[in-house]
């Protein structure tokens, strides 16, 4: 089983002359078919990779440790972590979609009155007006998000930073600084993002926001470019927005990331079809960079799809068995909070977020579930821990069976997106009951649970 998980418990470059080994004892593995009844395992890591995985012969006989280590491990420099049969070993976690610049904004703008999307845009715009003159605060909030995420077991994130006439490049500058400062513990993938329209409401002409976004996408250290087409004045302009994002991504070899179809209006045209058509055409004509992917976040309009429409979408994503490089990301903390507002929903309020368990199980669609926002007007109740989405998902999607619960932590088509690079050892078999986990950061250093420490600077 060597190399099944790439786990730099310590980077190989840190130990060029002497093997560095870690033994994780008496632990359950996340992809076992039946966690409670399956055997415990011992996992041996050598120079940052899993060297061996074997069933624990006797989890209660700690006197066998020395013999076991001498027979299985080549190095005298061994670190032993004993889960004592109470924990689960999982790959480190990934924030598939999170906003680095808009986190922890409650209290920095007007008090929420209605709590709706229009108000969230308004109060966030007020707060954003202070970003260029409050760079240290912008940095400190982003730093807190990264550190507390790492302490939850996150070692990679797609981090959105906004670029527009209000903030100009301030969010991007700080985001790139954070990316560099924390590169040893977390892979921060920067996505330059246009939350505001690229077009003027008065006419169909492109505004300054597009020029700023084009310049931002050309910066070193940027990996993705995205927008929110639903904020445009018309459907035609929303489609032009999508085309421009594809153009920018192609020019600079970036991934594309859309906040798309964020509505429960049945009369609204689902633009996912347009995105798929554009992507398919560009791939066929050589206008899409090799290895680049498209991510579609929110997509709440799709929750109104019929079974036939979902089948058609699955076929469009997997034509003739070959999948397009596109994934859907549900954002339930924000989606459930924001969607289905108004008098027409008061007596029958839908969940209003993608049922990612069903999409993975029934349609084999590439899906994930992510945090999105933390403590701002879009998600005042947001939390950073990706695993906190698991018990939420069990309730939202009525996925309490063992098979469905397993989909919360499988690597492919997962609700929680995993990064390759380290491990998280959960000290409880009941994620819903809270956890005091141990985890390693991107550099392989053990991190304490978030609850046990505050934000710290880069190490």
Confidence (pLDDT) at 203: 66
User: In the block, which residue shows the tokens 């080994």?
Assistant: 21
Q: Does residue 445 carry a pLDDT above 70?
A: no
Burial class (CB in 10 A: 0-12, 13-18, 19+), 114: exposed
**Are residues 92 and 422 in contact, defined by beta-carbon separation less than 8 angstroms?**
yes
Angstrom distance (rounded) from CA 332 to CA 354: 8
Neighbours of 412 (CB within 10 A): 9
Task: Give the count of alpha carbons within 13 A of 51, CB side only.
Answer: 18
The answer to whether residue 328 scores a pLDDT higher than 70 is yes
Question: How many residues are given for the chain?
Answer: 459
Residue with token string 């819903």: 432
What pLDDT score does 117 carry? Answer: 86
pLDDT for the residue 455 = 36
Q: What is the pLDDT of residue 350?
A: 85
d(CA 330, CA 296): 9
Angstrom distances, CA of residue 151 to CA of 49, 185, 384, 395, 442: 21, 10, 10, 25, 11
Mean pLDDT of 178-200: 95
* Mode of pairing for the β-strands spanning 78-82 and 438-440: unpaired
pLDDT digits (tens, 9 = 90+) for 165-174: 999 999 999 9
Lowest model confidence (mean pLDDT) among 5-9, 73-77, 320-324 = 5-9
Question: Is the Cβ–Cβ distance between 185 and 150 less than 8 Å?
Answer: yes
pLDDT band at 423 (very low <50, low <70, confident <90, very high): confident
If one compares 394 and 181, the residue with the highest pLDDT of the two is 181
Mean residue pLDDT across the chain: 82
pLDDT (tens digit per residue) in 212-264: 999 999 999 999 999 999 999 999 999 999 999 999 999 999 999 999 999 99
What is residue 2's predicted lDDT score, i.e. its pLDDT? 29
Q: Which of 99-108, 413-422, 446-455 comes out lowest in average pLDDT?
A: 446-455
Q: Which of 301-305, 367-371, 438-442 is predicted least confidently? A: 438-442
Query: Which stretch of 78-82, 294-298, 344-348, 363-367 has the lowest confidence by average pLDDT?
Result: 344-348
pLDDT in tens, 73-100: 555 678 888 888 888 888 889 999 999 9
Of 314-318, 337-341, 383-387, 407-411, highest mean pLDDT: 314-318
SS3 94: strand
Structure tokens, 131: 């970003």
For the chain, list the domains and their CATH numbers. 12-86 (no CATH), 92-420 (3.20.20.140)
pLDDT in tens, 36-76: 456 889 988 887 778 888 888 755 555 555 555 555 555 56
**Residue 20 confidence (pLDDT):** 73
User: Could you give the count of Cα atoms lying within 13 Å of 277 in the half-sphere of its Cβ?
Assistant: 8
Structural tokens at position 231: 């904020």
With a cut of 90, say whether residue 32 has pLDDT above it.
no
């Amino acid at each position: 089983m060597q190399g099944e998980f790439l786990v730099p418990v310590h980077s190989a470059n840190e130990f060029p002359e002497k093997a560095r080994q870690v033994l994780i004892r008496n632990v359950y593995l996340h992809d076992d078919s039946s966690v409670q009844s399956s055997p415990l395992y011992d996992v041996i890591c050598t120079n940052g990779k899993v060297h061996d995985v074997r069933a624990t012969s006797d989890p209660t006989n700690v006197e066998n440790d020395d013999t076991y280590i001498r027979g299985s491990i080549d190095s005298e420099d061994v670190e032993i972590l004993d889960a004592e049969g109470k924990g689960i070993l999982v790959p480190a976690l990934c924030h598939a979609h999170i906003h680095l610049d808009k986190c922890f904004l409650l209290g920095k703008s007007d008090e929420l009155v209605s709590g709706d999307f229009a108000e969230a845009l308004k109060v966030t715009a007020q707060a954003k007006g202070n970003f260029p003159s409050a760079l240290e605060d912008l940095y400190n909030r982003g730093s807190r998000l990264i550190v507390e995420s790492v302490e939850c077991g996150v070692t990679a994130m797609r981090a959105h930073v906004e670029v527009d006439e209000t903030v100009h490049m301030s969010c991007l500058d700080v985001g790139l600084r954070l990316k560099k400062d924390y590169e040893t513990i977390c892979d921060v993938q920067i996505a330059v993002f246009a939350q505001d329209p690229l077009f003027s409401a008065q006419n169909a002409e492109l505004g300054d926001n597009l020029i700023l976004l084009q310049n931002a996408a050309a910066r070193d250290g940027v990996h993705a470019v995205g927008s929110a087409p639903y904020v445009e004045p018309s459907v035609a302009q929303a489609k032009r927005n999508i085309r421009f994002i594809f153009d920018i991504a192609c020019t600079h070899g970036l991934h594309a990331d859309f906040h798309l179809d964020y509505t429960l209006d049945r009369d609204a045209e689902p633009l996912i079809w347009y995105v798929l058509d554009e992507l398919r055409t560009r791939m066929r004509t050589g206008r899409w960079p090799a290895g680049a992917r498209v991510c579609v976040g929110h997509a709440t309009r799709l929750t109104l799809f019929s079974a036939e429409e979902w089948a058609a979408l699955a076929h469009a994503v997997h034509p003739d068995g070959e999948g397009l490089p596109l994934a859907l990301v549900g954002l339930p903390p924000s989606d459930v909070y924001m969607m289905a507002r108004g008098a027409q929903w008061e007596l029958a309020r839908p969940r209003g977020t993608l049922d990612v368990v069903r999409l993975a199980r029934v349609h084999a669609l590439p899906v994930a579930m992510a945090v999105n926002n933390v403590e701002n007007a879009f998600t005042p109740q947001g939390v950073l821990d990706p695993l906190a989405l698991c018990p939420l998902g069990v309730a939202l999607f009525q996925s309490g069976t063992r098979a469905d619960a397993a989909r919360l932590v499988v690597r492919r088509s997962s609700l929680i997106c995993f990064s390759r690079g380290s491990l998280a050892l959960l000290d409880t078999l009941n994620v819903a009951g809270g956890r005091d986990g141990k985890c390693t950061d991107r550099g392989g250093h053990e991190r304490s649970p978030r609850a046990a420490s505050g934000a710290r600077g880069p190490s």
